Amino acid sequence: ARTLNECLLLQLEAMPETTPYRAHAIDIRVVRIPLVRPFRTSFGVESEKECILAAVDTGDAIGWGECVASPVPGYSSEFNAGVLELLRTFLGPALIAAGDITSGDLDRVFSSVRGNPMAKATLVNAFLDAELRAAGTSLAAHVGAERERVACGVSVGITATTDALLEQVHGYLAEGYRRIKLKIEPGLDVERVAAVRAAHPDILLSVDANAAYTLDDVDVFRELDRSRLLMVEQPLHHEDIVQHATLQARIASDICLDESIRSAADARAAIGLGSCRIVNIKQGRVGGVPEAVRVHDAARAAGIPVWCGGMLETGVGRATNLALAAMPGFTLPGDTSASHRYFMEDITEPFVLAPDGTMGVPDGPGIGVDPIPERLLETTVHAEHVS
Ligand code: SMG
Ligand code: MG
């Protein structure tokens, strides 16, 4: 016969992992925050952060999700006005109509919309946040985080001159950042990168091309090999995995894929083809936290290191990213920089870099941070409601 304790334990194990909740109402807003300095990549310049935030109210809790899209479809095909329309017309109403669900049901709830992982991630993450807040569980604990602090890198935009680049790199290293990533584009690559390497022979240094090159540029990457790079991020077309395999076979540096990985299936295909030896995980690019965990698991099973990418997130997205970055497979410093690297004032309490180049992982329920109401009011340029 079982003891009472054994019976209770068995009952507990038989309980569903999470209680179902119903999304009663969704607040969707567009916020705008000036950037401390314009961020130039191979596909454009941003001097202002504009993003969509969603708050999902389940009655028991309000959960927050931040969309990683920008006003312009330059990084990928998604963009804010399109995301807003999807949230308003398809995804928001689908979530409300779904009734009592758990976050595990969201793939099915949103299955009538093909693609659009950034738009979906907004609501997936918001619903998951509400679910975890109601359960009193932190997102970090939910994803199996193993660290309380994570090592941080910083991504440096393309500058007007090499001197300006060296100055920025110097400043970030002085703050403690543990890896420097340089944005490159054709013509602003080999010499710039060599100059930074010469000034800092021992740092972890990587480059990110945001899909600006073709296979005809293999010689550029062979030159870059001489700068002993930690990785070359997304050198070729933003949806390619085939040509990346060819390039990877021809250069010494490890290729890391970012834009091309939109799901765990993409990650498995790219790893299987030998298109990359490292994966950048952005939860917002792959449809939200649950799919990001699956990308992590697929990469880890294949022995491929991953790291947490960034999309200049506000504190809401940053908190989400930090929880993921604390998972065991995230073995390289992420683009999880301090709030003040992006904004004079964040919409949450600022995330701060410690002098040792690490940042604390929030441990409160859900993502562990809340937007500050006055900051939301100041930064909101548009708001609407789905119920
Ligand atoms: O959040 O620190 C950050 C930005 C990191 O370089 C970064 N992101 O391709 O990895 C990337 C870029 C995309 C930014 S587009 C707005
Ligand atoms: Mg990138």
Write out pLDDT tens, residues 254-281. 999 999 999 999 999 999 999 999 999 9
Ligand 1: nearest atom to the Cα of 234: 9
pLDDT tens-digit series, residues 145-187: 999 999 999 999 999 999 999 999 999 999 999 999 999 999 9
Supply the pTM of this predicted model. Answer: 0.95
Give how far the C-alpha of residue 116 lies from the chain's centroid of Cα atoms, to the nearest Å. 15
Confidence category of residue 17, pLDDT binned at 50, 70, 90: low
Does 181 participate in catalysis according to the annotation? Answer: no
Amino acid type, 383: A
Q: Output the CA 232–ligand 2 centroid distance in Å.
A: 9
Mean pLDDT of the chain: 96
Q: Output the CA 358–ligand 1 centroid distance in Å.
A: 19
pLDDT at 9: 73
Write down the residue that tokens 């109401």 correspond to.
373
The residue contributing the CA closest to ligand 1 atom 16 is 311
For a mutational test of ligand 1's pocket, the pick from 311, 318, 320, i.e. the residue with the most ligand atoms closer than 8 A to its C-beta, is 311
Ligand 1: nearest atom to the Cα of 335: 2
Confidence category of residue 13, pLDDT binned at 50, 70, 90: low
Contact at 8 Å (CB) between 66 and 310?
no
Ligand closest to 258 (CA) is 2
Contact at 8 Å (CB) between 312 and 342?
yes
Nearest to 269 by CA among 308, 240, 237: 240
The helix/strand/coil state of 208 is: strand
Ligand 1: nearest atom to the Cα of 282: 10
Residues with CB under 6 A from ligand 1: 41, 46, 70, 75, 155, 208, 210, 258, 309-312, 335, 337
C-beta atoms surrounding 102 within 10 Å:
15
